[in-house]
A = this chain, B = another copy of it.
């Protein structure tokens, strides 16, 4: 039923018919029985307060699931944009590469978050989404989202909120990169991860970093050596303990205070 998505009912200029094959015929992409209503990421992905009929329609948006193994890309910059992806499990990084080949990590994304929104405007994805561990994602053909959101205002609103929040999130990162010292950047990063893990039912104080020091550095506008030094310093100062990729936040309060200090 969901296949009608690819007859592309929207008047969009950037979603050629033929291109859908790329997303749908991928060997790792599988159709399945949709049941967003029973998905435990429901409250992260979906609008609230829909009636059963609306819920039924919104579930049509989820066309398939896709497995992505560690190191593989969910999509690359320049790929034709057909769908956005909702992460079901696993951990991604998103990156952009500029004309000179400089790569920058723009985000780390976990279950319940949406990837690919940067592709709507140009018809091709602007950045890359790379799996940092084995992942599973729901494929949401964007033409279908647009189509159904015309009929289900709750979905329309939800989409707009998600897009807007992405902008707000980016502003937060700009603030971090533009105005904070290394210490504060790393503190902000750890606290942000902590909050998001907690929201998903994991420990807020004890977690496993899935990205390298270099990736953290790229995200925070620091070199990997600097990140490493800061981790060591935080440990010496009794704020955290680190062993390789395992981090434990020992003094959450003080970590938060770090953000408050001027320069």
A100 within 8 A of B: yes
A127 within 8 A of B: yes
CA separation between A262 and B104, bound complex, in Å?
A: 14
Beta-carbon contact of B171 and A171 below 8 Å? no
CA separation between A12 and B158, bound complex, in Å?
A: 9
Q: In the complex, how many angstroms separate the beta carbon of A131 from the nearest chain B beta carbon?
A: 19
Q: Please provide the chain A residues from 141 to 173 with a CB less than 8 Å away from any CB of chain B in the complex.
A: 146, 149-151, 153-154, 156-157, 159-168, 170-173
Closest chain B residue to A123, Cβ basis: B161
How many residues does chain A have at the interface if contact means C-beta atoms less than 8 Å apart? 53
List chain B residues, Cβ under 8 A from A162. Answer: 121
CA separation between A221 and B182, bound complex, in Å?
A: 13
Closest chain B residue to A100, Cβ basis: B260
Task: Tell me whether A160 and B104 are in contact in the complex, defined as CB-CB below 8 angstroms, given that A171-B96, A177-B178, A178-B221 are known contacts.
Answer: no
A122 within 8 A of B: yes
CA separation between A121 and B162, bound complex, in Å?
A: 7
A236 within 8 A of B: no
A193 within 8 A of B: no
Q: Scan A211-223; emit 1 where CB is below 8 A from any B CB, else 0.
A: 0000000111100
Task: Tell me whether A104 and B220 are in contact in the complex, defined as CB-CB below 8 angstroms, given that A11-B157, A150-B156, A153-B150 are known contacts.
Answer: no
A72 within 8 A of B: no
A248 within 8 A of B: no
Beta-carbon contact of B127 and A164 below 8 Å? no
Q: How many copies of this kind of chain does the complex include?
A: 2
Q: A221: which of B120, B179, B219 is its contact (CB, 8 Å)? A: B179
A198 within 8 A of B: no
Beta-carbon contact of B164 and A119 below 8 Å? yes
Q: In the complex, how many angstroms separate the beta carbon of A63 from the nearest chain B beta carbon?
A: 18
A88 within 8 A of B: no
Beta-carbon contact of B168 and A167 below 8 Å? no
Task: Tell me whether A178 and B220 are in contact in the complex, defined as CB-CB below 8 angstroms, given that A120-B161, A171-B118 are known contacts.
Answer: yes
CA separation between A220 and B221, bound complex, in Å?
A: 13
List, sorted by A's number, 22 A–B pairs whose CB atoms are closer than 8 Å.
A11-B154, A11-B157, A13-B157, A98-B175, A99-B259, A104-B174, A104-B179, A106-B171, A120-B160, A121-B160, A121-B161, A121-B164, A122-B165, A126-B168, A146-B153, A149-B150, A150-B150, A150-B153, A163-B164, A174-B174, A178-B220, A179-B221
